[in-house]
Chains A and B, each alone.
Chain A
């Protein structure tokens, strides 16, 4: 039975990958670009969720993304470094900052941590605005080049860049999934409700939180790197607290308990937002209105997020239901 279940999951995963592989062949550049956006924000949201499972709400996650984006932008436009050297540097730079910020702020818990990270993210944003020589001020950094060709592959066009971002998101999901089922993930979850008990069985809880923060920062930095090359332009407002709240809404809507919930949330909401853009007489206010209403409805009727619908109607629970009913009659 267990074998069949694992294979079923694997088949579903492969099927999804195949569908995503085929998307560019439909010829719709618009939806290819939308999906690249989905992949970027999925990577950020999964990183954000990792530290959230430890009960710490980080309001600086998008700043890590920005750090990665600015790293790529500066490396490729000012130093003219090869893209494939700058790209890992984006992740590494963001994770170094995560280490420093985590070291300072992770001693605080709950709302205090949220406020501390909020303050830090504002400091980072203001630094981008004020250090005009390096970061280009409010105007940001324009004309960021496409990735250099690698192994004979060009990354200038939307489809090839699409596959690059798809690979990144798959890589992120695999790593995060492995983390979640490992001892590391298990201990991280205990920190939300039973940090004292974890300490008294000899777990250095502070260290675990910092590691989680660094990993989240690393992937957000990579996502930022993709973001910068995708739009060829970045500015400080791309990585403001506003974006962090979007990420928070994606995660809560999809469901915070599993990675798959988070992925679902990002996917559904970004696609929905794009559809709203197509409505006649579209007004930008509708975007916030839609997100706010969605969040309210989800919190009221589906506290486990969209993914909890699936769990309710999963094969296991349907079978269990069926057996119960048969036992009664």
Chain B
């Protein structure tokens, strides 16, 4: 059984067909790359899967359950978490608190427990802060834990974005351009982190990315979108040789036609 399945998902914005009948299956344990030229609908597809947009047509099945009409927070609680293309953090909080908020789903402190500061609340707080420090270590953010998120460098901010998502203990992680704006060194350390997350926590990853070298190296399978349609799907080698993909990216050579 696939972890995530899209069945003929379409999305119209007025007259514009942003996503057109996209179907695909994602198995547990895969790393999938979602690529395509600008405006192909990659981020829109993420927004649909994570519940921020409702599809005009089609169904989204996650772990054998229909999640098409659930709200974003409900989808997150089922184990499907996303990150954002723009740097989206809790800017005025420290790194540690950012991850702490990410742990929301797994810290079951009741409202009155918090208000009264009971011993059970403190115990639960300790368990959560253990989890936070594990994530800090895993992503190499330990030394920065008391720094305000807005003061971090771009590379660390992106890493923190992944750390927040990781705190929700997802089964499936949707990463929207995790390497954008990074230099070669930052990119390679992000790749190391992602592989570590994938291996140690057994998290399935889908990522949108323009950095082809990173995508080809990291992903088991690649899905290519163009003008809202899925035009190809396959291993990195297959995708590199696919004529339609080359055409989408480079245009058609008119002399040959």
Residues of A within 8 A of B (CB): 175, 178-179, 182-184, 186-187, 189-190, 193-194, 196-205, 211
Q: Contacts of B107 on A, CB cut-off 8 Å?
A: 183
Question: Which residues B89-104 have CB closer than 8 A to chain A?
Answer: 89-93, 97, 100-102, 104
Structural contact, A186 and B52, CB atoms closer than 8 A? no
Of the candidate stretches B4-12, B31-39, B71-79, B227-235, the one touching chain A is B71-79
Q: Bound state CA distance, A128 and B126, in angstroms?
A: 51
Given contacts A187-B104, A194-B88, contact A201 B165 (CB under 8 A): yes
Structural contact, B88 and A190, CB atoms closer than 8 A? no
The 6 A-B residue pairs with the shortest CB-CB distance, nearest first, are: A202-B76, A182-B114, A199-B72, A202-B105, A202-B77, A201-B102
Q: Contacts of B104 on A, CB cut-off 8 Å?
A: 183, 187, 201-203
Given contacts A196-B84, A203-B104, contact A189 B72 (CB under 8 A): no
Q: Contacts of B50 on A, CB cut-off 8 Å?
A: 200
Query: Cβ of B117 < 8 Å from any Cβ of A?
Result: yes
Given contacts A194-B88, A196-B52, contact A204 B73 (CB under 8 A): yes
Shortest distance between the CB of B82 and any CB in chain A (Å) = 5
Given contacts A196-B52, A197-B90, contact A187 B101 (CB under 8 A): yes
A-B CB contact pairs (8 Å), 27 listed: A178-B117, A182-B115, A183-B104, A183-B107, A183-B109, A184-B111, A186-B101, A189-B92, A190-B90, A193-B91, A194-B88, A194-B90, A194-B91, A197-B88, A197-B89, A198-B101, A199-B71, A200-B72, A200-B73, A200-B81, A200-B84, A201-B105, A201-B165, A201-B167, A202-B73, A204-B73, A211-B111
Question: Which residues B101-153 have CB closer than 8 A to chain A?
Answer: 101-102, 104-105, 107, 109, 111, 114-117
Shortest distance between the CB of B49 and any CB in chain A (Å) = 11
With A196-B88, A205-B73 known, 11 other A-B pairs at CB within 8 A are: A178-B116, A190-B93, A194-B91, A198-B101, A200-B50, A201-B105, A202-B76, A202-B81, A202-B105, A203-B73, A203-B101
> Which of B71, B76, B77, B101 has the most C-beta atoms of chain A within 10 angstroms of its own C-beta?
B101
Q: Contacts of B76 on A, CB cut-off 8 Å?
A: 199-202
Main secondary structure of the interface of A (DSSP, over half): helix
Query: Which residue of A has the minimal Cβ distance to B80?
Result: A200
Q: Contacts of B167 on A, CB cut-off 8 Å?
A: 201
Shortest distance between the CB of B42 and any CB in chain A (Å) = 17
Q: Contacts of B114 on A, CB cut-off 8 Å?
A: 178-179, 182-184
Q: Bound state CA distance, A186 and B100, in angstroms?
A: 10
Shortest distance between the CB of B216 and any CB in chain A (Å) = 28
Q: Contacts of A175 on B, CB cut-off 8 Å?
A: 115
Query: Cβ of B164 < 8 Å from any Cβ of A?
Result: yes
Query: Which residue of B has the minimal Cβ distance to A178?
Result: B115
Option from B97, B101, B109, B116 in Cβ contact (under 8 Å) with A201: B101
Structural contact, B101 and A190, CB atoms closer than 8 A? yes
Q: Contacts of A199 on B, CB cut-off 8 Å?
A: 52, 71-73, 76
Q: Contacts of A202 on B, CB cut-off 8 Å?
A: 73-74, 76-77, 81, 104-105, 168
Q: Bound state CA distance, A193 and B111, in angstroms?
A: 23
Shortest distance between the CB of B77 and any CB in chain A (Å) = 4
Structural contact, B84 and A197, CB atoms closer than 8 A? yes
Query: Which residue of B has the minimal Cβ distance to A175?
Result: B115
Structural contact, A201 and B52, CB atoms closer than 8 A? no
> B48-72, CB under 8 A of A: which get 1 and which 0?
0010100000000000000000011
Structural contact, A201 and B81, CB atoms closer than 8 A? yes
Q: Contacts of A204 on B, CB cut-off 8 Å?
A: 71, 73
> Which of A187, A193, A194 has the most C-beta atoms of chain B within 10 angstroms of its own C-beta?
A194
Q: Contacts of B74 on A, CB cut-off 8 Å?
A: 202
> Which of B52, B115, B116, B165 has the most C-beta atoms of chain A within 10 angstroms of its own C-beta?
B115
Q: Contacts of A201 on B, CB cut-off 8 Å?
A: 76, 81, 101-102, 104-105, 164-165, 167-168
Shortest distance between the CB of A311 and any CB in chain B (Å) = 15
Query: Which residue of A has the minimal Cβ distance to B99?
Result: A201
Given contacts A193-B91, A196-B88, contact A186 B73 (CB under 8 A): no
Q: Bound state CA distance, A135 and B62, in angstroms?
A: 55
Q: Contacts of B105 on A, CB cut-off 8 Å?
A: 201-202
Q: Bound state CA distance, A190 and B72, in angstroms?
A: 16
Shortest distance between the CB of A53 and any CB in chain B (Å) = 12
Q: Contacts of A179 on B, CB cut-off 8 Å?
A: 114-115
Structural contact, B111 and A197, CB atoms closer than 8 A? no
Q: Bound state CA distance, A34 and B73, in angstroms?
A: 47
Q: Bound state CA distance, A200 and B117, in angstroms?
A: 27
Q: Contacts of A193 on B, CB cut-off 8 Å?
A: 90-92
Q: Bound state CA distance, A186 and B89, in angstroms?
A: 14
> Which of A199, A200, A205, A211 has the most C-beta atoms of chain B within 10 angstroms of its own C-beta?
A200
Query: Which residue of A has the minimal Cβ distance to B106?
Result: A202
Q: Bound state CA distance, A158 and B71, in angstroms?
A: 53
Q: Bound state CA distance, A187 and B167, in angstroms?
A: 15
Q: Bound state CA distance, A189 and B77, in angstroms?
A: 21
Q: Bound state CA distance, A187 and B111, in angstroms?
A: 12
Q: Bound state CA distance, A179 and B112, in angstroms?
A: 10
Shortest distance between the CB of A156 and any CB in chain B (Å) = 34
Q: Bound state CA distance, A48 and B92, in angstroms?
A: 22
